[in-house]
Each structure stands twice: as structure tokens, then as C-alpha cells.
Amino acid sequence: MTTEIAASAPARAAAGAALAIEAHDLVKTYPKEVRALDGLSFAVPAGTVFALLGPNGAGKSTAVKILTTLAQADSGTARVAGLDVRAKPARVRHLIGVVAQLSGADPAATGRENVMLSGRIQGLRGRDLARRTDELLGRFGLADAAGRRVRAYSGGMRRRLDAAMGLVNRPEVLFLDEPTAGLDPESRSAMWEEIGRLAAAEGLTILLTTHYLEEADHLASRLAIVDRGRVVVTGTPDELKGELRGDAVHLELASDTARDHALAALARVPGVRETRVEGTSLSTRADEGATALPAVLAALEGAGVTVRAATVARPSLDDVYLRYSGRRFTEADQSAITPATSGGPK
């Protein structure tokens, strides 16, 4: 599915180079001196999936609240679907869909009633409303549960209902704030699949926030790493990982007696560095691991060193985060002071 998005995104970007979201220098301070956003800027081309990646408390949810007209920035500007969110909030609300971190579905109402109410407020009427409601409930696997009250829904069902409510108006821009937080792995991969399908089929722009590295890697064609209310770096997941200059290349040697031959052979291969051998395990770094591998194998064969197995590993987003923020992602996530900084005041 990643390839699906990757393949279709450039085509769409070329068709319409317009920006679906522009955030410029957003600042937002909550009472008690919590500076949630500290000059956040990023841009999302129309028709792409863009992730704001960062630990809890980085300011992702605050950014979504401002872009979806729920909160106002202290300073800075933001445009969604070409409209200024501060000047035209009512029009922006017609063009967006929002799946917030908290469900937002009325537990006393049925799934169908929740979707229909959102649709009515968005201006759908009569048969169009009924058709769209059924279509969405069906697509998110809620057709059988549509008449049941949301109170009886599981966490995964609620999340899917939230997505159905957010899509009822066929939005141009869909905001997903931590769409899979708290879901079990099975529901998560189902949600990923659905997000990927949405991006491919409906051509809508998706902004998702996540603190799961693999989620951003998996879903987003571009991402911005957010730390302490600012974007520290933007790019495609591969670009960001590529900037670390080097994939890890791991080789398993046939015997542990060829250490010196192997080191000498690899020293002559251009672009390969930091070679280490421990026992039969050889690891090295190369700018483009996949490209360097044939040369590495040839050099070793020339030196009479037999290779049993080879793997090339791309650096992870965790490595990228470490490089730009100076701390490991999981540390930042755990040290985040909740709840004051996690999503504004509760």
C-alpha cells in the first residue's frame, strides 16, 4: 500500500501543484505559560498524505486545532484549501473533515444518527444524505452496527465511526489526529489500509498526526518532524532517512578467519565506511546500501572471502529524530509532561 501512495502522489502533485494546507509561523501559548506552538510552519501539496510526527506534547494537536478552526493562533497565518482559517472559518469547516483524538460521537445516539447529524450540519439532505451515510457505514464495516447505540461500540468501531463522520461531506482536506492511538494492532492495520485507500481513491489531502514512527513511515508521502512546537525537518520518509548518509549493510561471513582480508578489501570500495567485523558478522555503512552491495560482494569475492548472507537496512525515523532533536524519540515521548502539554488544557 505504501507503494500505491508513493506511485500516485507525484502524479497528483503534478496535476495540481496547489497547496492544500499552509501553516506559517504559528504561535500558540496556553495559560500557565505552556508554549504549545513556537513558530510552526509547513506546507502540504493537494492530494498527498502528510504526517506531523512528534512525541506527546510536541504541539501536533494544537496545530490541528488551529487548522480546523477550533482554536486561534496567537500569531502566524494558516490557510486550508486556499482559505484563511481565521478570516473564513465557516467556509473552511465545509471543506474539511476532522477525526479528533477524542471520539466525539454521541454515545446516546446510534452510529447512523451520528453520521446523519454530521451530514445534515454539512448541508446534505434527503436521499443524498441517506445514500452517503449508508455508503460510509458500509465502507467502515459498521453496516450491521448502524442501528446500535455508540455506547455499545468497541474502541475500534468508534474510531471507524469517527472516520465515517469526518468524511460525510466529501472533504477536500481530512485531518486525522492520532487516528490509531489506543487501537490494537489488528484495528491499526485495518485503519492504515483504509487511510491508504482514501488517499488513493478519493484524491483528498490527508494531514495526520502521529507519535508512531512506523505509522508516519508507512502512510505519509511527506512528513514534518515536530519538536517543542516547531518543525525541525521536513521531507519524504526516504529523504529524511537518506540524509543520515548511509544505510547499514550487514554481512554474514562463512568463516571468522578472514577478518583482515575483508577489511582490506572493503577499504578499497568507494562510499563504504565504518566497517566492523565481529566473529563472522560484518557490518558497514554505505551511502546507498542497495547500490553499494554488488561492489561490496565483488570486492570480498576478489579477496577470497565467502559471504553467506547479506542485508541492507535503511536508517529508521528514530535515527532521524535523534539527529534533529538531540534526543531519542521514546525518551521525548516519556518525558513529555502530561497533560498540560499533550493537547492543550483539559
Partner 1 sequence: MTTIVAHTTWMTGRQLRAVARQPAYLVIMLIQPVIWLFLFGSLFRKVVELPGFGTASYLDYLVPGVVIMSALSASMWSGMTVLEEIDRGIMDRFLVLPLHRSAIINASAVMQSLIIAVQSIIIVLLGWVGGAHYPGGIAGLVVLIVTSVLVAIVFSAFSNTVGMLARQRETIIGINSFLLLPLTFLSTAFMAATLMPHWMRVVANCNPLNWALEAGRSAMSANPDWARVAVQGGGLAVLAIAVTALSVLMFRAYQKSV
Is 80 a binder of partner 1 (CB under 8 A)?
no
Nearer to partner 1, 99 or 320 (CB): 99
Among 39, 76, 82, 104, binds partner 1 (CB under 8 A): 104
Residue 284: what residue type? T
CB atoms within 10 A of CB 52: 27
CB contact at 8 A, 141 and 88: no
Nearer to partner 1, 17 or 90 (CB): 90
| DSSP category for residue 150 | G
Is 96 a binder of partner 1 (CB under 8 A)?
yes
Among 15, 18, 72, 75, binds partner 1 (CB under 8 A): 72
Separation between Cα atoms, residue 49 and residue 203, nearest integer Å: 10
Separation between Cα atoms, residue 321 and residue 341, nearest integer Å: 19
Is 226 a binder of partner 1 (CB under 8 A)?
no
Nearer to partner 1, 109 or 312 (CB): 109
Nearer to partner 1, 53 or 105 (CB): 105
CB atoms within 10 A of CB 174: 24
Residues 6+ apart with CB under 8 A from 161: 103, 105, 111, 114, 115, 140, 142, 150, 153
Number of residues that bind partner 1 (CB under 8 A): 33
CB contact at 8 A, 66 and 51: no
Least Å from the CB of residue 119 to partner 1:
10
Which helix (H) or strand (E) segment holds residue 282: the answer is strand 281-286
Considering only the stretches 107-115, 135-143, 266-274, 321-329, report the one whose residues sit in contact with partner 1 under the rule CB under 8 A: 107-115
Residues 139-178 that bind partner 1 (CB under 8 A): 149, 165
Residues 6+ apart with CB under 8 A from 64: 52, 98, 100, 175, 177, 207, 209
Among 6, 19, 34, 109, binds partner 1 (CB under 8 A): 109
Name which of 316, 346, 331, 336 is nearest 228 in CA terms: 336
The three cell numbers locating residue 26: 504559528
Is 100 a binder of partner 1 (CB under 8 A)?
yes
Considering only the stretches 93-101, 243-251, 275-283, 296-304, report the one whose residues sit in contact with partner 1 under the rule CB under 8 A: 93-101
571468522: which residue's cell?
A: 256
Among 24, 94, 273, 327, binds partner 1 (CB under 8 A): 94
Considering only the stretches 110-118, 219-227, 312-320, 330-338, report the one whose residues sit in contact with partner 1 under the rule CB under 8 A: 110-118
Site string for partner 1, 24-43 (x = CB under 8 A): -------x------------
Nearer to partner 1, 127 or 346 (CB): 346
Nearer to partner 1, 56 or 169 (CB): 169
Is 122 a binder of partner 1 (CB under 8 A)?
yes
Is 182 a binder of partner 1 (CB under 8 A)?
no
The three cell numbers locating residue 81: 484549501
Cα 196-44-96 angle, rounded to 5 deg: 70
Is 118 a binder of partner 1 (CB under 8 A)?
yes
The three cell numbers locating residue 112: 447512523
Among 60, 65, 160, 211, binds partner 1 (CB under 8 A): 65
Name which of 121, 210, 201 is nearest 168 in CA terms: 121
Which residues make up the interface to partner 1 (CB under 8 A)? 31, 65, 68-72, 90, 93-94, 96, 98, 100-109, 113, 117-118, 120-123, 149, 165, 344-345
